[in-house]
Structures are given as structure tokens and as C-alpha cells.
Structure 1
Amino acid sequence: MATSRLLCSTAPTIFVPLPPPKLCLRARATKGGPLHSKPSFPRSSSSSSSSFKCKAVGDSSQTSFDPTVYQGIYGPWTVDSNDVREVILYRTGLVTAAASFVVAASAAFLPDNNWATDLVKQNLDLLYAIGGGGLGVSLVLIHIYVTEIKRTLQALWLLGVVGSFLAYTNLAGPAGEGLVPYVVHNPVAVWFVGPLFAALTGLVFKEGLCYGKLEAGLLTFIIPTLLLGHLTGLMDDGVKLALLGSWMALFIVFAGRKFSQPIKDDIGDKSVFMFNSLPENEKKALIEKLEQQKLSQNLD
């Protein structure tokens, strides 16, 4: 349960207040997304200034805000156009990664001496690069409450990219092969590309844990099992093909089903991200304010 709370970004209970309250957000000093917005808390009337910008939730003149208000741990929040854009890009990155992988992996199932097979095999490294790029975009935009976990997944991806480049320039290239065929023919090369797939495994694990998606849970086991089986040589080709085919099918389902989710699901409780962006003194003040409100409610 604790792990789920650290990884998951599930939106809280919805309420739609009438009349629309004022949702005060500190004006952005830089070009930042919605996660850079800071929740305000009460100050004396003498301290009010133009550094605060209040917008009426549900006001038709504010087109960047969804009129629906979600009650977060640290206060109310809304979905704005930046949130929508980030979630769409996140999901598009997953679709790009899945489509590239499926097309590249299809070479293992297509008949030899076929134009489609030849076309795929000639572009395996390009498909690998496109898929890796799509995964990278998703890892930049993924919403995980604990920054250290997110940075770890990004570091694994970067390590895999660097490893792939080194494997190509120092091993595959001199041998006259592309990177993907070289890894297929030389299992030890999995050490170079493995971190990238470890990042993918972490992403699908997070999705499976947060949303209870069976395909994501199965991918969490299939991806490392296939790679380790190939690396160690303890898995025969028939089992490899069965796992590869399962990976392809589940990856398509996984990426496709992301677009059936509400946008708010991939955002999570935005008040947490807003809270984390506050300086320590403002965090303390906001926590004290919330504790006082809770105490007052209990007394009532």
C-alpha cells in the first residue's frame, strides 16, 4: 500500500462547488507547466500584492481551466490545458514505443525472403531509436509523487541510451551489423541495452500497480524474463518466441488502453506536486493551516 501511494497518481474525490470559489494560484515566474503552480494560503490583508493571481473556477472566461474541481490532499486543483497536453504527449510516447517495438519484433515471425521482412530488418535500428525516444518522452512526463523514483527511471533510460550507442560504435559497427541484430546474435550485449528496458519495466510496473491493469502486470514479468533468458542462454528459441509474441500483444493492449482513461488519472493529485514545489517555510505554514482546519472540523 505504501509503495502504491508513492508511485500512483490517482485523482481524489470530485466535487463541483456552487457558486464557483476562487482558486488562487501564485503567478508563474517562468514558463512552467501546471506542476510549477504554487497553492497560496492566507496572509494578512496588508501583504496582498500583484504577485497573486486568482481565477474563478468555472468562469467561462478562463478557458485554460476545467470547471471541475478535484479535492487534493493539500487543497483543490483543476485540470488545465498544460495538463492535457502533457498527458497526451505521455500517452503518445507510449504508443510510439509500442508501435516501434511491435513492428521491429515482427521480423521474428515474418517469413524469410519477403519484402516486408526485408523492409523491417533493414530498419531495425531506426525502429529501436524511435521506440527508445518515445519511451524517453513518456519518462520525462510521467507523474510520480516521489521525484527520486522518477529520476531513477530516467537515469536507467539514459544509461540504456548511452550503452546502446557504445555497443553500436564499439561492437556492432566494427562487426558489420546493426545494433539490434548484434544483440540478438550476441546475448552478452544485453548488458548494454538492458537499462533502457529496465526503465520500461519500471513504467509498466507503475501503471499496473496504480490502475490494476493485467497487461501491465504481465509485462512487468515478461520483459525481464525474456531479457534474462536471452542473456544467460538458459531459454530455448521456442520459449523466447512465445514470450516475444506475448510482449507484442500485451504492449499493444497496454498502450491502446491508456487512451481510454480520463486525463485526470495520469495527472494524479496535482496539489501534491504543487506542495512539493513550495519552499520549506511555506510547506510548514500550509501544513499548520491544514492541521488547524482539521482540528476545527473535529471540534465542530
Structure 2
Amino acid sequence: MAAIIFTPLASLGCRQPHLVALPHGRRARPSPRPVSMRWRSPTAMASVTPPPGSNSPPQLYPGVYGPWSVDSADVREVVLYRAGLVTAATTFIAGASTALLPEDNAVKGLIQGLYDPLYVVGAGGLGASLFLIHIYVTPIKRTLQLLWAVGVLGSLGIAVNFAAPVNQGLVEFVLNNRAGIWAVGPLFASLTGLVFKEGLCYGKLEAAALFFVIPSLLLGRLSGVMDEKVQLGLLAAWMALFALFASRKFTQPIKDDIGDKSVFMFNALSEDEQQALLSRLQSQQALQKTEVAD
């Protein structure tokens, strides 16, 4: 019997899961190292094919199901993922900056007139990133996407049923009515989940700080017990941390945002193909142990 072990970090796409062979009646334990493999699926074979016009093969990275490489489609996905984060950060910072500007500032009035378009574009950028994010365990990814969708639907409901009848925009209405945070909050919860993943996977302090700042500000405002100066301080921290987080994404290697590509290729196989591969890996692992013993 073979099993795939997902540690908490591996579940989020931060570390490689481990393949281990399990005798009957034994509990699963992580393998000390990934299994070396010769097998490649057709998808994997395509991923290690040199690009047209290239004389050297791409760099290979070890994976739990075999070596893999970064291709042009991977680069495009990662760039779009990071671009979505930059879009979300830029629009949020632009809109939130009005809280720090004086009332008679012309720029403040201009941005206030663009509150809702900025919100829509920022939510779209976040949604794109959540669609492209690489997380091994699909239910975790789907949960973040569901939170985003609930937040979008809640925003639409507030805009149509409450803001429009009083001639206000969505953002203006929520700013003036704290209860509106209940409707838009799930969207920001999805952002909180994303920065949690980034902070845990890559040790990014700004992402870890955002994980605490975002809910603290929203819950503090929703409850009405947080002083306005404290709210402004947290908002300024959110803006600075979000800007740092989004900009630093482009300092990471592309492969970091991909994770172990062999896991995603394995998940794309049919059940029969997966079972055949697991059996082959188990046999190879047993052979390796025999060779070491000899």
C-alpha cells in the first residue's frame, strides 16, 4: 500500500508532500526524502521538452512524482498571479489613501468619485490571483475562492439593495454603515487566507503581519469599540504592508509560486493512471531499499 503524506505546509503548497510505502496495519509517516523516479507522464514529458530554438534543456527540479521544469505556461500563470496581487494592492492603497488626506484636498475628492471602480478592479485582481494560486489540497483553495465569491455577491447585494436607493456608492455606504462589513467581509477574509499562505510558505513578515492587521481593523470597526486613531494607524499599516508584500512577490523565483508541479500533474491523471504510478513508485522504493541493504 502506498500513501501520500501532506504536512500542514505541504497542504498549502509550501513543501513537497512525501510518498511512503505502508505495510498493512501501519500508520502513515512522512518519508525522509522525495522518491527519485524515472517515470514521467505525457504531461511531464512535455514539461521537460526544451523550448523551440533552445540548445539546452530546461532546469529540472525534484518532485515527489518525478522531476519537473518551468515552462512558458507556468511563467505566464505566475506572472498573472502576481499581477493580480499588484492590482489588488494598488487599488486598495489608492482608495484607502483618502482617509489620510485632508478634507479639502482635490485628489481626495477625485479618488472618492472612483471608489466603486477601484473596488471592482481590486476585487477582480484578487479573484484572478485566487484562481491561479497553487495549493496542493483543492478544498483549501476552493474555500478561499468561495469566500471571495460570497464577498462579491454580498457587495453586489449591498450596492443594489441598500446603497443605490440612497444615492450612494457601495464603498461610501459601507464606510458610513459598519454593518455593511458583514456583506463585504468574506472577500477580505479570502485575502487574509492568501497572505496567511504566503507568510507561512515563504516566511514573509509583511504577509504574516497582514494576517493580523486585516481582521483586526475590520472587526474593530465592525464592533464600534476601536478608536478612530487606532483604525487610521491600522489602515496605514495595511497600506504599507500590502505595498511591500505585492512588490516583493517579483523578487521570488518563478518556481516558488509553482510548488511541486509533479503533484498537480499527478492530480490531473485518471484514477487508474494514479494507481499504476503509485504501484510503480512503491516497487521502485522497495528496489532502492534492497540496493542500499546490499
Interval containing the TM-score (normalised by the shorter chain): 0.7 to 0.9
C-alpha displacement of 1:9 = 3.8
- Which residues in structure 2 correspond to 1:120-199 (within 5 Å)? 120-199=111-190
In the alignment, is residue 7 of structure 1 matched against residue 12 of structure 2? yes
When normalised by structure 2's length, the TM-score is: 0.85
Match of 1:274 in 2: 265
CA contact (8 A) 1:66 1:80 kept: no
Query: What's the secondary structure of 2:61's corresponding residue?
Result: strand
Query: What's the secondary structure of 2:165's corresponding residue?
Result: coil
Q: Percent identity?
A: 55
| Deviation by residue 1:175-215 (Cα, 9 ceiling, x = unmatched) | 22111111111100001100100000000000001001000
Distance 1:103 1:55, change over 3 A: closer
Letter in 1 for 2:199: G
Query: What's the secondary structure of 1:169's corresponding residue?
Result: helix
How many angstroms apart in 2 are the aligned matches of 1:73 and 1:11? 7
How many angstroms apart in 2 are the aligned matches of 1:158 and 1:173? 21
Gaps of at least 5 residues in structure 1 are 13-20, 27-36, 40-53
Match of 2:78 in 1: 87
How many angstroms apart in 1 are the aligned matches of 2:208 and 2:47? 41
Letter in 1 for 2:225: L
How many angstroms apart in 1 are the aligned matches of 2:49 and 2:166? 63
C-alpha displacement of 1:288 = 1.2
In the alignment, is residue 101 of structure 1 matched against residue 92 of structure 2? yes
Query: What's the secondary structure of 2:62's corresponding residue?
Result: strand
C-alpha displacement of 1:75 = 0.7
C-alpha displacement of 1:8 = 2.5
How many angstroms apart in 1 are the aligned matches of 2:231 and 2:144? 26
C-alpha displacement of 1:2 = 2.6
Letter in 1 for 2:263: V
Letter in 1 for 2:7: A
Letter in 2 for 1:222: V
Count, aligned residues: 266
C-alpha displacement of 1:100 = 0.3
Match of 2:282 in 1: 291
| Deviation by residue 1:91-149 (Cα, 9 ceiling, x = unmatched) | 00000000000000000001111210111111111111110010000000000000111
In the alignment, is residue 211 of structure 1 matched against residue 202 of structure 2? yes
CA contact (8 A) 2:10 2:16 kept: no
How many angstroms apart in 1 are the aligned matches of 2:228 and 2:14? 39
Query: What's the secondary structure of 1:74's corresponding residue?
Result: coil
When normalised by structure 1's length, the TM-score is: 0.84
How many angstroms apart in 1 are the aligned matches of 2:95 and 2:243? 13
CA contact (8 A) 2:196 2:207 kept: yes
Letter in 2 for 1:8: G
Gaps of at least 5 residues in structure 2 are 1-5, 18-36
C-alpha displacement of 1:254 = 0.3
**Runs of at least 4 residues off by over 2 Å:** 8-12, 21-26, 54-63
How many angstroms apart in 1 are the aligned matches of 2:204 and 2:183? 29
How many angstroms apart in 2 are the aligned matches of 1:131 and 1:124? 11
How many angstroms apart in 2 are the aligned matches of 1:288 and 1:58? 26
